[in-house]
Amino acid sequence: MLKELGIDVAIVRKPSAKDLETLQEKDGYFRRSEWNRWVQKNVRNEDYLNAHKGSVSGISRSKGLLVENVRVTKSVWDEWHEQLYKPFIAKLGGSVLAPSYENLPEAHRWWAILFRDPETKRLLGGAMDRFWSDRLLWGHYAAYEDELKKKGMNPDERVTFEENNLARWLGSDVFSAGLDHNFKGFVLGRGLYGHKVGMGYELNPATEFQVLKVINTDKFRLGANSEGKNEGVVFHTLTPEVERRYVAALGAGADAAVDSLLGGSYFTPEIIPSAQATVMRHFFTDDVRLPAPGEIPQVRQPLDDLK
């Protein structure tokens, strides 16, 4: 019936313990977090470059830029928003997602990493990060002129390097590439997912505990990557240990958000390691292999199995 109504995916938000007893994975009901957060541990510059040897050349080619790490003010935000962000989003065919400065939450906590032409001071690129109260530097938005890539620069590699520096200066042990929706291929392009894996970010489940059921796979068969292959769909399921903690939190009336269930701050002994909290599920059409973040287990199955 749901398929006839045009529904592709059904979600049970904040399921009860009874829901979880009834909705079993063998019947296609997957436990998941609504979002995944990408995080990286702050390290010294030398250690960062040693761990990201593939990024060194891109960072080196950007050394001629004037780089500014500054607090976000209305003038800083408006310059970046109008000159770079709006045109960037328009090229992608989307609407403007970043708010105006007046609607920016906790504007005093935001920092900008800006790239300028050293002679003209013209703004060529920039990223906007928020320093959260839990001492996490979180990258929210970024936009660059095409000129940077035409010169062989990879602005994302330089931004990540600068975020590592900024996080350390702010006293943060961790910096983040933000949240991505936990359902790639239909909701969010898989290219961004592979990009963050390549940049060295670790994926951790976050936000709301949910149960997901795929009703119709037809749309997941549409489109192709640069090699003309369809990659199917990817999402991360939660392990039985996270589910056990979720049920216990419900019974105790405690915070049942997945972030809280992990048990501690990122990269501390108290937290459940991502490889023990989540499993990467890749339901493919063409036989394409996608990079798994870190040591997270990966289970690959044909898309026809997702019923």
Same domain, 235 and 126: no
Provide the domain count of the chain.
Answer: 2
Among 172, 201, 235, where does a domain finish? 172
Same domain, 67 and 157: yes
Model confidence at 126, pLDDT cuts 50, 70, 90, reads very high
Among 172, 193, 210, where does a domain finish? 172
Domain ranges, residue 92: 43-172
Residue with tokens 């997941």: 220
Same domain, 101 and 197: no
Q: How far apart are CA 237 and CA 22, in angstroms?
A: 17
Report, in angstroms and rounded to the nearest whole number, the Rg of the chain calculated over CA atoms.
21
Is the pLDDT at 298 greater than 60, yes or no? yes
Same domain, 187 and 305: yes
Q: How far apart are CA 228 and CA 223, in angstroms?
A: 8
Same domain, 82 and 107: yes
Same domain, 183 and 220: yes
- Look at residues 295, 266, 272, 302 and name the one whose alpha carbon lies nearest to residue 197: 295
Asked if 257 and 205 touch (Cβ cutoff 8 Å), the reply is no
* pLDDT for residue 186: 53
Residue with tokens 């990659």: 231
* pLDDT for residue 189: 57
Among 172, 192, 220, where does a domain finish? 172
* pLDDT for residue 190: 61
* pLDDT for residue 4: 65
Q: How far apart are CA 292 and CA 307, in angstroms?
A: 23
* pLDDT for residue 214: 92
CB-neighbour burial class of residue 149 (10 A; exposed 0-12, middle 13-18, buried 19+): middle
- Look at residues 252, 267, 206, 249 and name the one whose alpha carbon lies nearest to residue 41: 267
Provide, rounded to the nearest whole percent, the portion of the chain with pLDDT above 90: 53
* pLDDT for residue 23: 97
Same domain, 99 and 199: no
DSSP annotation of 184 reads B
Asked if 73 and 129 touch (Cβ cutoff 8 Å), the reply is no
Output the 3-class SS for 104-148.
CCCHHHEEEEEEECCCCCCEEEEEEEEECCCCEEEEEEEEECHHH
For residue 158, give the CATH number of its domain.
3.40.630.30
**Terminal C-alpha separation, the chain:** 14
Q: How far apart are CA 116 and CA 230, in angstroms?
A: 38
pLDDT digits (tens, 9 = 90+) for 170-202: 988 899 998 889 998 755 456 677 778 878 899
Same domain, 33 and 157: no
Cβ neighbours of residue 225 closer than 8 Å, sequence gap 6 or more: 190, 191, 231, 288
Same domain, 157 and 253: no
Same domain, 27 and 8: yes
Same domain, 28 and 105: no
- Look at residues 67, 73, 127, 136 and name the one whose alpha carbon lies nearest to residue 98: 127
Rounded-to-10 torsion of CA 71, 206, 88, 164: 40
Residue with tokens 């940049």: 199
Strands 298-302 and 278-284: parallel
Asked if 30 and 281 touch (Cβ cutoff 8 Å), the reply is yes
Strands 174-181 and 136-144: parallel
* pLDDT for residue 24: 96
Same domain, 126 and 244: no
Q: What is the pTM of this model?
A: 0.85
